[in-house]
Amino acid sequence: MVGNDMDPRVSVGLIGLGTVGTGVAKILLENADLIAKRVGTSIDLVRIADLDIQKDREIHLPPGMLTTDANALLHDPSIDVVVELVGGYDAAKRFILTAFDQGKHVVTANKALLAVHGEEIYHAAIRTGCDLGFEASVGGGIPIIRALTEGLAANHLSSIFGIMNGTSNYILTRMTEEGKGFQEVLELAKSAGYAEADPTLDVEGGDAAHKLAILINLAFGTAVHIKEVYTEGIAHLSTLDFAFAREFGFTIKLLGIAKHHEEEVEARVHPTLLPSASPLAKVSGVYNAIHLVGDAVGDVVFYGKGAGSLPTASAVVSDIIDIARNKRRGVSGRVPPTSFQWTQRMPLRIRPIEEITSMYYLRFTVVDRPGVLSAIAGVLGEHEISIASVLQKGREEGQAVPLVVMTHRSSERAVQTALDVINRMPVVLEKTILLRIEGAEESPLMKEDH
């Protein structure tokens, strides 16, 4: 895979001509001149493999460029870079590993694959001396992978907070702004083309968890398997929670959160209350934003379109350009796909959710009767959970009413144990809703004790 200086041109083979693949073809064809001016050599899209070569894709491809045979492309010695955009696990992984074995560099947007089989793929790239680009796997067009591996490489990173799934953020934004329920907004998102027919991966947090696993690898130099990321979605959120959050000055976002503690890492995706004035709380619609904290740089936030054909393709092509710049100089492997050198990574324990501490929003559904608050507060107190504020609405003696408690920083295990007790109390009519709060340490609300 060391390039030939006599022929610095770079030939690209693309597998998968779906939404992102079409965007990649479009950019490589339409911006070819611009790219050549930047790189100093041309990047030629020579072959595209897709199972459906009849479909009209609104781009004009030269005749003969399309094939149904991915293997022919993978074994074509004239191809330098293989772009894998078929998604999924088995076939995609086979294509990538075959490409490496053929001495070809690989660019992919496949976050699910990297979150599950990342270690095997990263190691194959390093072993074969090939480059692997996956800027498009997180944050669409936002250059967040490069930020972690290069721009912020001087920093010990301490945390990552990210809105990394556009569909769920679109739904949460409409629920926040319009006061509508989850199911209603989900249907609206589907008809607007912002949610897929099966939205499970987006609304249950799986997609965000894939992306978080990839970022943790780069930020902290440790492998994390998707199974180790605590993942909770947004389907159980009620309009009540949005109204109460607002009343306390918070906005609900589905966040991917990672924190580095000495020998451990927190890795969790869940709906989170953020102070409404914080930068992430203001990210609306299908936009993504990722907030990193480093020991030298402090806070940095990256914001942009997290999905879509051209934004994601922008990231794919940036990786191809990177490889072309390497090939022109006859090198590869400048920056390892693990950011840290393979032998210099350190396995860190992923801290189970029970062991974290956080501030909590607890919404109890209780019978409106004197003494209920004191009973619940008593159980919380026994478990050393300190209350920051309380909101009790409605005044209909004997009816079910919501009672909201915001806690100071407490242990998750203590909170879960206390809720087990509280949920069994006869005056508690429904399972208590627990939401975690981030970024409110400085809020006056959370500082004073009530």
Element containing residue 242 per DSSP (H, E): helix 239-247
Please name the residue that has the structure tokens 């006056």: 444
111 belongs to the catalytic site: no
Q: Helices 32-39 and 309-328 meet at what angle, rounded to 10? A: 40
Q: Is position 294 an interface residue for its own copies (rule: CB under 8 A)?
A: yes
Task: Count other C-beta atoms under 10 Å from residue 334's C-beta.
Answer: 12
Identify the residue among 57, 305, 351, 436 touching its own copies (CB under 8 A).
305
What whole-number distance in Å separates Cα of residue 406 and Cα of residue 265? 25
Give the contacts of 329 (CB within 8 A, at least 6 positions apart). 3
Where would I find the beta strands (DSSP E) of 91-155? 105-108, 132-133
Q: Which is nearer to its own copies, 135 or 204 (CB)?
A: 135
Q: Which is nearer to its own copies, 87 or 151 (CB)?
A: 151
Q: Which is nearer to its own copies, 303 or 352 (CB)?
A: 303
Q: Is position 235 an interface residue for its own copies (rule: CB under 8 A)?
A: no
Region 363-402 residues binding its own copies, contact defined as CB under 8 A? none
Q: φ and ψ at 315, to 5 degrees?
A: -70, -40
Please name the residue that has the structure tokens 């999905």: 307
Q: Is position 156 an interface residue for its own copies (rule: CB under 8 A)?
A: yes
Identify the residue among 151, 246, 379, 392 touching its own copies (CB under 8 A).
151
CA–CA distances in Å: residue 304 to residues 149, 162, 170: 19, 12, 14
Q: Per CB under 8 A, which region of 90-98, 116-124, 136-144, 206-214 contacts its own copies?
A: 136-144
CA nearest to 14, candidates 82, 64, 79? 82
Dihedral (CA of 356, 360, 366, 372) sign: positive
Q: In what order do the strands lie in the sheet with 132-133?
A: 66-67, 43-49, 10-15, 81-84, 105-108, 132-133
Q: Is position 18 an interface residue for its own copies (rule: CB under 8 A)?
A: no
What whole-number distance in Å separates Cα of residue 111 and Cα of residue 248? 35
Q: Which of 26, 93, 211, 253 is catalytic?
A: 211
Dihedral (CA of 406, 239, 430, 356) sign: negative
Least distance from its own copies to the Cβ atom of residue 305, Å? 5
Terminal alpha carbon distance of the chain: 65
Q: Is position 282 an interface residue for its own copies (rule: CB under 8 A)?
A: yes
Task: Count other C-beta atoms under 10 Å from residue 33's C-beta.
Answer: 9
Q: Which is nearer to its own copies, 165 or 318 (CB)?
A: 318
Token pair, residue 70, equals: 């991915």
Region 341-360 residues binding its own copies, contact defined as CB under 8 A? 341, 344-345
Region 182-201 residues binding its own copies, contact defined as CB under 8 A? none
Q: Is position 29 an interface residue for its own copies (rule: CB under 8 A)?
A: no
Q: Is position 105 an interface residue for its own copies (rule: CB under 8 A)?
A: no
Q: Is position 439 an interface residue for its own copies (rule: CB under 8 A)?
A: no
Q: Is position 127 an interface residue for its own copies (rule: CB under 8 A)?
A: no
Q: Is position 155 an interface residue for its own copies (rule: CB under 8 A)?
A: yes
Q: Is position 143 an interface residue for its own copies (rule: CB under 8 A)?
A: yes
Site string for its own copies, 34-73 (x = CB under 8 A): xxxxxxx---------------------------------
Q: Per CB under 8 A, which region of 10-18, 84-92, 180-188, 302-310 contacts its own copies?
A: 302-310
Q: Is position 313 an interface residue for its own copies (rule: CB under 8 A)?
A: yes
What whole-number distance in Å separates Cα of residue 316 and Cα of residue 84? 10
Least distance from its own copies to the Cβ atom of residue 21, Å? 14
Hey, which residues are catalytic here? Answer: 211
Using CB under 8 A, list all residues that contact its own copies: 23, 27, 31, 34-40, 135, 140-143, 146-147, 149-156, 221, 279, 282, 294-305, 308, 310-311, 313-315, 317-318, 320-322, 325-326, 328-331, 333-336, 339-341, 344-345
